[in-house]
């Protein structure tokens, strides 16, 4: 599964979701296909799912809202272990990703 544009690319490999590039999509409607793709993965019954954001240079506030919703979705699943891999290389990640941990304390946030 893959959704891409000239500036970004999001795709899944097994239970890992990769975000790459710059996301400046205009609002929730624009992010809906990505949302449904990843929600689909979350409901496939895996023990754990990883969001790999190490290649994600920029994410606008609507994108952050998407990540928050996906985190809340994962939190509802109970059994599912969600891992979020981020990087301190991009300041927005250090600033915004801890909020996901607040929304879902069992989330394994790995900022490297």
Partner 1 sequence: MMDRISLKRSIKLGSFRAKFILVVGGAVLFDLLVSGGLALWNVQRLSRDATLEVGQGLEAASQDYIRTYADSTAAQVSLLLRQVHNDVGTLAGVLQAQIDDPERNLDVGAAIARTSPDSVRLVYDQKGNWSQNVPGSVSVVSVWGYLLKPDHSPRPDVEADIQTSAVLDLVAPSLLQHGSSKLQMYYIGSKERPIFRTAPYTDQAQTFDRLYPGHNDANFWNFFFPGLYESWQSWAANMNSRPVADDITQTAPYTDAITGKLIVSFFHPLWTADRRDVAGAAGADITLDQLAETVENVKVAQSGFGFLAMSDGNVVAINRTGEETLGLRSASDTSGTGVTGLERSLKGSSQPEIAKMALDREQGIQHLLLERNGQKVPYIVIVKKLPATNLWSSGPVRQEAMSLVLAVPEREIDASLYAAQAKISEATNRIVLYQILAIAMSLAIVTIAVLAASKRITSGISALANAARRIQTKDYSVRVAIASKDEVGEAGEAFNRMAEEISFHTENLEQLVEERTAQIEDAKEEISTLNAQLQRENRRLGTELAVAERIQLMVLPLHQELDELQALEIAAYMRPAEEVGGDYYDVLKSGNRLKIGIGDVAGHGLESGVLMLMVQSVARALQEAGNVDAVKFLTDLNSALFKNIVRTKIDKHLTLAFLDYDGKEMILSGQHEEVIVIRTNGEIERIDTMDLGIPIGLQADISQFIRTRRIAFEQGDLILLHTDGVTEAENDAGELFGIDRLCVEALRTKNESADKVVSEIVAALMHFIGSQKIHDDITLLAVRHR
Asked if 64 is part of the footprint of partner 1 (rule: CB under 8 A), the reply reads yes
- Alpha helix ranges (H) inside 1-112: 27-42, 61-77, 91-103
Asked if 28 is part of the footprint of partner 1 (rule: CB under 8 A), the reply reads yes
Tokens for 71, please give them.
Answer: 């985190």
Tokens for 50, please give them.
Answer: 């990883």
Q: Which stretch binds partner 1 (CB under 8 A): 2-10, 40-48, 82-90, 96-104?
A: 96-104
**Which is nearer to partner 1, 11 or 58 (by Cβ)?**
58
Could you tell me the smallest distance in angstroms from the CB atom of residue 61 to partner 1? 4
List Cα–Cα distances, 95 to 12, 48, 108, in angstroms.
Answer: 25, 24, 16
**Which is nearer to partner 1, 4 or 61 (by Cβ)?**
61
């Amino acid at each position: 599964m893959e959704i891409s544009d000239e500036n970004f690319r999001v795709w899944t490999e097994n239970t890992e979701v990769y975000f790459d590039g710059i996301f400046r999509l205009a609002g929730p409607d624009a992010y809906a296909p990505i949302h449904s793709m990843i929600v689909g993965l979350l409901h496939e019954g895996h023990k754990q799912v990883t969001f790999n954001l190490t290649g994600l240079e920029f994410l606008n506030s609507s994108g952050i809202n998407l990540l928050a919703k996906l985190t809340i979705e994962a939190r509802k699943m109970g059994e599912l272990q969600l891992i979020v891999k981020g990087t301190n290389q991009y300041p927005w990640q250090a600033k915004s990703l801890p909020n996901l941990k607040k929304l879902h304390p069992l989330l394994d946030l790995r900022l490297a």
